């Protein structure tokens, strides 16, 4: 039966499960180290993993448009730090759902930057999706809390990163694209750690300038290593999935990481989502599916 499935579906399903597990590991680690430190170690280890695979199996694609490769890395880092921070401060299922607003932002970016047409189905999808964000963030106040806003912003950066993947997928090996992400995701945190003692920022931005503290226990180091391995694998699977032909089906499958995340979050002590949150999650999933169908 598995042989009859599209490769993109298999890649995305595996990526969804692994990314939800990665979110759970991030939430556990956030009790001991900062989100930026998690990003730094996760990407630094990822650099060595990708370099090993490149040495073992050289790339065959010629490359080009190096600026887009760097841009993908920076956008990916921006999405990751916001994602990891929201995982630490709000329930795991909510954090991953807000990150999954990226298809909505892809549609908005395509309209303003590429002048793509928005039909009625797409407009309804955007309305439903952003209504779902409001339900998750703050149902009664009809305003978005700062932490939830950062989660949505992370979804926006993820959308921009996915857009660059589509631009360079035919000229760069998937491992090279992931390498750009982990290299930038190691370098930028290192710079932020270096300048942190010399800057005084508002509390709302303090998560970007934490004090670097070397983990003291073997338990934390093992969790960091495990997270680095599986998250790098997830990024590779995600890149392969978005390089597949049937992107609309792949996009739908990507939402399976939400129930995975809710389950992992519940096991870690998160409250099970209330009816408003569940309905908000449902709205975002439906919106993402409608956006995918409108592009067929």
1 within some domain: no
pLDDT of residue 2: 43
pLDDT for 18 beyond 50 = yes
Least confident among 80-94, 244-258, 275-289:
244-258
Question: Of residues 61 and 97, which shows the higher confidence score?
Answer: 97
- Residue 104 counted as domain residue: yes
Q: What is the mean pLDDT of the chain?
A: 83
Cβ count near 141 (within 10 Å): 9
Residue 40's pLDDT band (cuts 50, 70, 90): very high
Residue 171, pLDDT > 80, answer: yes
- Residue 10 covered by a domain: yes
Residue 16: both structure tokens together: 């969804």
Indicate whether 138 belongs to any domain: yes
75 confidence band (pLDDT: 50, 70, 90): very high
Contacts of 26 (CB under 8 A, 6+ apart): 35, 38, 84, 87, 88, 227
- 77 vs 248 pLDDT, higher one: 77
pLDDT (0 to 100) of residue 131: 83
For the chain, what is the domain count? Answer: 1
Domain extent at residue 132:
6-294
pLDDT attached to residue 4? 43
Is residue 268 within 8 A of residue 88, CB to CB? The reply is no
**What DSSP string runs through the chain?**
-GGGS-HHHHHHHHHHHHHHHHHHHHHHHTTTS-HHHHHHHHHHHHHHHHHHHHHHS---S----HHHHHHHHHHHHHHHHHHHHHHHHS-HHHHHHHHTTHHHHHHHHHHHHS-----HHHHHHHHHHHHHHHHHH-TTTTS--HHHHHHHHHHHHHHHHHHHHHHHTTTS-HHHHHHHHHHHHHHHHHHHHHHGGG----GGGGGGSPPP----SHHHHHHHHHHHHHHHHHHHHHHHHHTSS-HHHHHHHGGGHHHHHHHHHHHTTPPPP-HHHHHHHHHHHHHHHHHHHHT-
Looking at per-residue pLDDT, the higher value among 101 and 210 belongs to: 210
What is residue 252's predicted lDDT score, i.e. its pLDDT?
Answer: 67
Q: What is the predicted pLDDT for the residue at 113? A: 65
Q: Residue 161 above 70 pLDDT?
A: yes
Q: Which of 114-118, 119-123, 159-163 has the highest mean pLDDT?
A: 159-163
pLDDT score recorded for residue 219: 92
Instruction: Express as a percent the part of the chain with pLDDT over 70.
Output: 87
43, part of any domain? yes
Region of poorest pLDDT, from 57-71, 145-159, 234-248, 268-282: 234-248
Record the pTM.
0.82
Radius of gyration, CA atoms only, the chain = 19
Flag whether 115 is in a domain.
Answer: yes
Highest mean pLDDT: which of 58-67, 115-124, 152-161, 274-283? 152-161
Locate tokens 């759902």: which residue?
Answer: 97
């Amino acid at each position: 039966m598995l042989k009859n499935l599209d490769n993109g579906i298999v890649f995305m399903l595996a990526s969804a499960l692994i990314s939800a597990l990665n979110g759970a590991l991030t939430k556990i680690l956030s009790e001991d180290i900062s989100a930026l430190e998690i990003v730094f170690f996760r990407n630094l280890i990822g650099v060595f993993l990708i370099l090993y695979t490149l040495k073992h199996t050289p790339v065959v694609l010629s490359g080009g448009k190096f600026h887009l490769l760097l841009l993908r890395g920076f956008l990916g880092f921006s999405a990751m730090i916001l994602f990891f921070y929201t995982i630490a401060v709000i329930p795991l299922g909510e954090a991953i759902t807000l990150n999954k607003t990226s298809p909505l932002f892809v549609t908005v970016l395509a309209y303003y930057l590429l002048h793509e047409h928005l039909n009625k189905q797409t407009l309804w999808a955007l309305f439903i999706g952003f209504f779902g964000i409001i339900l998750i963030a703050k149902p009664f106040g009809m305003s978005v809390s700062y932490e939830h806003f950062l989660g949505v912003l992370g979804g926006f950066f993820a959308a921009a990163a996915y857009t660059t993947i589509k631009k360079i997928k035919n000229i760069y090996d998937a491992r090279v694209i992931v390498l750009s992400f982990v290299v930038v995701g190691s370098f930028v945190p290192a710079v932020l750690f270096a300048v942190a003692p010399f800057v005084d920022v508002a509390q709302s931005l303090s998560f970007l300038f934490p004090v670097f503290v070397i983990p003291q226990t073997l338990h934390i180091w093992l969790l960091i290593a495990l997270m680095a391995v599986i998250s790098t694998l997830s990024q590779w699977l995600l890149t392969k999935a978005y390089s597949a032909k049937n992107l609309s089906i792949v996009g739908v499958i990507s939402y399976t990481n939400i129930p995975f995340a809710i389950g992992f979050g519940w096991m870690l002590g998160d409250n099970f989502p209330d009816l408003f949150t569940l309905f908000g999650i449902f709205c975002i999933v439906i919106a993402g599916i409608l956006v995918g169908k409108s592009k067929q």
